[in-house]
Amino acid sequence: MYKALTCVLIALVGITSASNVFNVKSYNIQQVASPFAQPELRLTLCPTCIDIADRSINVLLELILDTGIIGSCSALCQALGQKTGSSILATVCDLVCDVVGIDEFIKMIDKADIDPIWYCEIAKMCAINDHGDAKFTKFTIAPASGPKGTTFTFDFAYTSVNGTGTGELDIDIQCPDKIPIGTGFLLEASKAGTYGQKVTVKAEPDPHCDPTQEMCEEWLPGTYNVTIQVCNGECGSKHPHSAIYDTVKGSFVLTK
């Protein structure tokens, strides 16, 4: 009864607070509205669960390493709820842990062998389609070149014949200074059809990047190679219900 009531609460929270950004790695890359058909608007637990999973996994690792709480799913997930102050995080944790078992759950957390989409598929909050597909039908970058500070637009579309499972749109940029930048966006499961996306990249230093803590892209003159993947599950994941549907590549040039 407790889990059922909490799942209803998750649904209510998800309606108002869920984000479509998944695994964000770069401030410079932003998703914008598309003129193409988009997946239908519907009440779904999936985006909220992805956000919950991102927050839960790191805290669970801390609990396992620092406190040694490994007795049962109930004990571990209750500790997660107490540490975060969120009964929702505890309930989703319990749902996943009960399916895989406490020993396997701890192994996955300890080895970082878990990703948010798979986590939420186990909890039955993100849809699965192992017979899905997607094929890129359009990809342009405009302008083709420009000085530092230019905003480049990636305009692309993909078509699916059998629909798609819950997945990721992954964007990676290889830079002349060898510092890779990129981001990922959650793609909720969708029906057959054509889906378009527009993503902008502003070629200027990320104000949130601290050079004392990490390497920061300086946007030097040269060629920037772009790779975009549309995936079932998280791109690059080795877990079930994961695969790369299609990949497209292009480039743009910074002149000065």
Per-residue pLDDT of the chain (256 residues; tens, 9 = 90+): 334 333 333 333 333 333 344 433 567 888 886 544 454 444 468 998 888 887 888 899 888 888 776 789 999 999 999 999 999 899 999 989 998 899 888 888 877 667 899 989 988 889 999 999 999 999 999 999 999 999 999 999 999 999 999 999 999 999 999 988 999 999 999 999 999 999 999 999 988 888 888 888 999 999 999 999 999 999 999 889 999 999 999 999 999 8
With beta carbons less than 8 A apart as the criterion, state whether 223 and 174 touch.
no
Q: How many CB atoms lie within 10 A of CB 171?
A: 24
With beta carbons less than 8 A apart as the criterion, state whether 15 and 48 touch.
no
pLDDT at 76: 92
pLDDT at 34: 54
d(C-alpha 235, C-alpha 256), whole Å: 33
Helix, strand or coil for residue 19?
Answer: coil
pLDDT at 209: 86
Q: How many CB atoms lie within 10 A of CB 168?
A: 26
